[in-house]
Structure formats: C-alpha cells, structure tokens
Chain A
Amino acid sequence: MTIDEYLLRLEKNLLMGSARWIADFTESFRHYKIEDTVWDMVVRGHMRGKGLFLSRIFAYLNLPDYQVACFVATRDLGDSDLRGLVKCIQGYMKDEELDWCWLVLPKEGPFSSRLRAALEKIDYRELGIALVDISTRQIFTNPSYVGQRLRDQVKCFR
C-alpha cells in the first residue's frame, strides 16, 4: 500500500467509517496550509451527530458539541519537527476553538527510536498522536486518552 492509498482509506474511515462513532467528521481538505505548515490532509468535524429525529434529540441533549480535527502529515520527521507540528496544531486549536485533535503521521518504513521516545513524552490531554508504519502496520500512539482512542481509527490497511 502506498501513502496516497492509505490517505484515501483514512479519509474514508474518518468521513464515513468507524471514526463516526467517535466524532462526526464532515469535511476533508488536502494540502491545507496553516501559517507556514502545509498539511497533507486536515479533516474537520464535531461531536454532536445529526441523525434522524430521535437520535438528533438524543445527541442534542446528551452530547457536547466539541469541535474536532484530524491532521495528517506524511513527510519524514525528526523529534524537533514533531514538536513544531504539535505547536502549530495547538495554535490552530486556540484560533478555531477546537476541543481536541488527532495527529496522524503515516510513513513507509520504521520510525526512529528518538521520535518514538519524543512521542511518549507528549501527554497533552486534547491531542492524540499516532505514528503509522504502513509497511509493517505498526502503530505507536502517545499516552493521552485521545491518543489511545486514535489507535483503532488509523488501522485502515485493507
């Protein structure tokens, strides 16, 4: 599987697949520029789903209307680049009033141990990060709850 194929599958999973149990992702942008960073994909959504009559009432009464996003970058990263991306996302979250975000970093090949160690240290409650090695199908996430929930959503290899 190539990176482009993986992005298409991830996008489909976020918009119409199992990720909809977590958030209603409604819009996907490719090559999306935020300040000086160009993201390969940014998917925006919110947590209050629509549905038909009863499910709409249920969602309105029970679910918080959190604004959410999923960022995807496919370039080769060092641990300082990872911190830069996290900083960019935090700035965007503040500007757009987002409540939580996912960051997915897919790559064909293994990630360096320094990057994995840097990932372990990122423990922001509102940010989930996944390193996805699409050749071996290995996934590493940061320890936050949002990061743990991301693991199942990025497993779209077939």
Chain B
Amino acid sequence: MKTIAPLHIGNLIKSFAIALIILSLAWSTISFLIAGDILIIPAVLLLNLVLAVGLGYLYYRWRYHSVLAYDRQGFQLQRGRKLTTGKWGDFYQVSLAHLGYGNLAVRLYKVEGDDTLDIPTADLKMDASALRFELMDLVKGTPPPPKKPKT
C-alpha cells in the first residue's frame, strides 16, 4: 500500500499560533485577576512558547494532519482524527475541485447516494492533477448510477 503522510508546515504554524494566542490570553486573564494587571514575565513567556509548541503539535495531529494510503483495491484517508476508508469500486467519477484560496482537491463521486469525498491534495503535498489521472484509472471500470427521472 502506497502511503503519503507529509508534515504540512503551514497548518503546523497555524496550530502553533492558535495555541500561543490561547495560552497568552489565558495568562493575561489569570494575571489580571490575581494582580490587577497583565504581568509580562520572561520566564512565563518562555514557558508559553514551549507549551504552545507541544499543544500546537497535538492540535495539528488532531485537526489537520492528513494521511492517504492506497493501492489498486481501495484507500484509507485520515484527516486529523477523522478516518475514511473506501474501495475504488464504490466511486464512478473523479474530478479536480478548487476549494478556494488556491487549494485543490481530488473529488470522488460515490455510486450510491449523492455523496462526494474530497482528497485534500494541498494538505498531502501531492500534485492534484497527477493524482486525479491516477484515480481516474482506478475507478474506470465502475458504472455510473442510473439517471434519476426528472421531476
């Protein structure tokens, strides 16, 4: 099984920034409640930075880290804590979707239901166009769902 699990630096920095902002706000509130003023102590700032690195990494793993593992039969896609598994035979169509802000994804159309599944190629640091052609080959044999009668 081919596995792609890159570390996305942009999302990691975002997670670190979120953790740092929350810790700084928490320290400001606590010091204001205790001392009546926002205390700026170098040791606390340093501790906040160290904690933000650890909490930011945990948040990144929980929210953003993407892993795609696939072979000719099926795939496993993990986005943060959410794991999706599937077989290529469950999908009949592949497209390249622009999610905004330059982020491309490969979109898979399920045979049953009107569901789609997006593979976030930007987060996986993959060439969206090349992956799209590869997946088009893998879903090629699947017949599309019957057309719904028009209402």
Residues of A within 8 A of B (CB): 8, 11, 15-16, 25-31, 50
Write the B96-110 contact mask toward A (1 if CB under 8 angstroms, else 0): 111010101001000
Which residue from B98, B102, B136 sits with its C-beta under 8 Å from A27?
B98
Q: Are A29 and B95 in contact, CB atoms less than 8 angstroms apart?
A: yes
**How far, in angstroms, from A50 to B96 measured CA to CA in the complex?**
18
- CB contact between B104 and one of A15, A31, A50 (< 8 Å): that residue: A15
**How many angstroms between the C-alpha atoms of A50 and B100 in the bound complex?**
8
Tell whether, in the assembled complex, residue A15 and residue B96 are in contact, meaning their CB atoms are under 8 Å apart. Answer: yes
Using CB atoms, name the residue of chain A closest to B96.
Answer: A28
CA distance A16 to B102 in the complex (A): 6
Q: Is the contact region of chain A dominated by helix, strand, or loop, or is it mixed?
A: strand
Is the CB of B93 closer than 8 A to any CB of chain A?
yes
Set of chain B residues within 8 Å of A15, measured between Cβ atoms? 96, 98, 104
Q: Could you pull out 12 A-B pairs where Cβ atoms are within 8 angstroms?
A: A11-B96, A15-B104, A16-B102, A26-B97, A26-B98, A27-B95, A27-B96, A27-B97, A27-B98, A28-B96, A30-B133, A30-B136
CB-CB nearest in chain A for B144: A33
Which residue of B has the minimal Cβ distance to A15? Answer: B98
B65 on the A face (CB < 8 A)? no
8 tightest CB-CB pairs across the interface, nearest first?
A15-B98, A28-B96, A29-B95, A27-B97, A27-B95, A26-B98, A16-B102, A50-B100
- Residues A28 and B136 in contact in the complex (CB < 8 Å), given A15-B104, A16-B102: no
Is B142 an interface residue when CB atoms closer than 8 A count as contact? Answer: no
- Smallest distance from the beta carbon of A3 to chain B beta carbons, Å? 15
Q: How far is the CA of A15 from the CA of B99 in the complex (A)?
A: 10
A28 to B95, CA, bound (A): 6
Residues of the A chain whose Cβ atoms lie less than 8 Å from the Cβ of B102: 16
A25 touches B136 (CB 8 A): no
Apart from A8-B129, A27-B96, A27-B107: 20 A-B pairs, beta carbons within 8 A: A11-B96, A15-B96, A15-B98, A15-B104, A16-B102, A16-B104, A25-B98, A26-B97, A26-B98, A27-B95, A27-B97, A28-B95, A28-B96, A28-B97, A29-B93, A29-B95, A30-B132, A30-B136, A31-B136, A50-B100
